[in-house]
Amino acid sequence: MTDDDFETEQNLLGSILSITDEYEYQDQKKLNASDECNQTQTQIKLQRQYKFQTTDTFNKSFEQISLGSDQICSPIQPEGKLKYKNSGVCTSFSSDNQTSLENSMIFGNVRCFDYFQKQSDQFSPIYYSQNNPIWPQYQKSNQILDIQLDIDIENMCGNQVLSRKVQKIFETGQSNQRQQIFCKVLVNCQEFSKDIFGNYLIQKILEKGTTQQQMQIFKQLLPYVIELSKNNFGCRVIQKLIDIISKNDQLIVSFIQEIKQNSKCLLIDQNGKYVILKCLETLSIDIFRFILKPTEELGIHMCDSQYGCKIIQKLIDNYPTQVDTLIENCISNQHLLYKSQYGNYIIQYAIKQSRYLDIIANYILNNLENLCFNKYASNTVETILEYLTPKLKNNFVQILMKLSDKNGMFIFLNISTNPFGNYVIKKLLQIFDQEHKQQLLNLTKQNQHLLYYIKQSEYGQRIYILLTTQLNDQN
């Protein structure tokens, strides 16, 4: 290769390399421009996130909102004005790109934000990150925390958020904080007990507080036992109080004296019934025996409510030999109880006492068809089938084989095709011995149309299956 050829090749090689370098430079320039664009978009996205941060974070659960957050928001408003309030708390929230102080609570005074000016690229003052240099300004002394806790307790009534937070502090906080809450609540524990959310704090103190704190709450509430027992929320506190005093005979005596003087008004009050039932379930049987007398006088009235019936049932369980007057009063009005949503359970309880079986059975046999047609009374008829003597079982079957005054059909057929009565016949075919069932089986053999009507009925399918199965077994 000559010198001229070598120089020509070098020039050609140099031009190729320079063109490649130019391409690489252009690619790198485009890549840098793309990165700058992505960074700009990220900054815009962050600014939008910060701008709507307060609105978005309020969609979080109550557990993420700090004490007093429903009364205070960011002092910087969208229109650029500052909003001032009385001493309160600065709210902080937790998210993926955000760190908050313990339990998302920053105690302090919102006036500390007075010197902030609204700027388009400025973080909201409730926002905190490790790079925020203003954060140390928000930290306050323990004295300010104590003052804020007092303010929150005072404003807790009717406030679900504050109630939950104060409960949590009492359960897991430091001893001085627990004592501070207790002292503040003790003065007005009667009002707290009647509040929709405040009553939960009283219950929490009774549950998690010291023995001394429990006794102080008891003494403070004792004069208001009747008033609180008749209150929707106060009755919950009294029930919790009963659990606390159940092992202290001295406290029980003073509590019972308050209940005894006004037992009747509690027995006819919906919330008072809860307290009476709690006493029957928790306290000694002997010490609460006095409730028998007023219950006997109000027996029929109590049978018309769910918890009134539960009280009567509990009295029958606790004092089986001392409730004769009570049961007799109920049985004398059994025509009202059979068709009562709750009263029918009292009759079912009385059926288990053999001395009342004949009285109840005779009434049922004389009104069998009507009772089986009723939703609640049919349950009582089902129950008595288990306790009937052989003689009463035979009388029961004989009535089923009679013709009805309603439509001239067999009572057995009418009850079998009834939406409630079919359960009675089904249970009879399942638990009666063969001697008594045989009379009904013979009736269906002699009257084949009975099986046809039962089969075509919407509610007689179960009866048809049982009858055909037992008839086939005999063939």
**Minimal CA–CA distance to 397: which of 353, 438, 360, 359?**
438
Tens of pLDDT, residue by residue over 254-278, are 999 999 988 999 999 999 999 999 9
Name the percent of the chain lying above pLDDT 90.
40
Tens of pLDDT, residue by residue over 211-248, are 999 999 999 999 999 999 999 999 999 999 999 998 88
Sign (positive or negative) of CA dihedral 193, 198, 200, 204? negative
Tens of pLDDT, residue by residue over 32-68, are 666 666 666 666 665 655 444 444 444 444 444 333 3
Statement: residue 395 has pLDDT above 50: yes
**Res 173: pLDDT:** 84
By mean pLDDT, which of 15-19, 240-244, 249-253, 430-434 is the weakest?
A: 15-19
Mean pLDDT of the chain: 77
Domain residue spans in the chain?
Answer: 374-475
Tens of pLDDT, residue by residue over 140-188, are 444 455 566 777 777 777 888 888 888 888 988 888 888 888 988 898 8
- Residues 334 and 346: their CA atoms lie apart, in Å, by 9
Tens of pLDDT, residue by residue over 319-335, are 988 988 999 888 888 88
The secondary element (H helix, E strand) that includes residue 390 is helix 390-400
Beta carbons within 8 Å of 424's beta carbon, 6+ residues apart? 372, 378, 381, 382, 385, 415
Confidence of residue 31 (pLDDT cuts 50, 70, 90): low
